[in-house]
Amino acid sequence: MTSEYTRKSPRVSLKLRVHCAGDGLYFSDVTRDISEGGVGIDTLSRLRPGEELQMEMITPDGDKITVRTKVVWVKPADDPERVSAGLEFRNVDDTRRQTIRRVLETHGQPLRPLRQEP
């Protein structure tokens, strides 16, 4: 993760089906976590920081939310064939932001806080 990146909103654990496309790349995957500001995914796709993608998220209610995203960070995932990536939502209008907030509040499970070292 780059030192420039600062999380602006809390994440929740929520698995949503996503379809992503950009610059000759297309893949479908599942989110690991989500916040009002973006998503975390573990994927087989080789993403690069700075890459922009169009993402369609399918909510548990069957709604589709389409947003532009930017890959903020990429690191090895627990599965050696995958990478873990943080994608930031870009230019999200109020209607989409409210839909994302509703999905988080209705379906998300709070992540456990990181353990503090003594």
Identify whether 5 is part of a domain: no
Q: What is the mean pLDDT of the chain?
A: 87
CATH number, position 72: 2.40.10.220
Rounded distance between C-alpha atoms, residue 56 and residue 30, angstroms: 11
**Spatial CA neighbour of 101 closest among 31, 36, 9:** 36
Q: Which domain holds residue 87?
A: 12-107
**Spatial CA neighbour of 111 closest among 34, 17, 8:** 34
pLDDT at 117 over 90: no
| φ and ψ of 57, to 5 deg | -105, 135
Identify whether 115 is part of a domain: no
Identify whether 3 is part of a domain: no
Of the ranges 10-14, 18-22, 30-34, 36-40, which one carries the lowest mean pLDDT score? 10-14
Identify whether 89 is part of a domain: yes
pTM for this entry: 0.82
Provide the number of structural domains found in the chain: 1
Identify whether 79 is part of a domain: yes
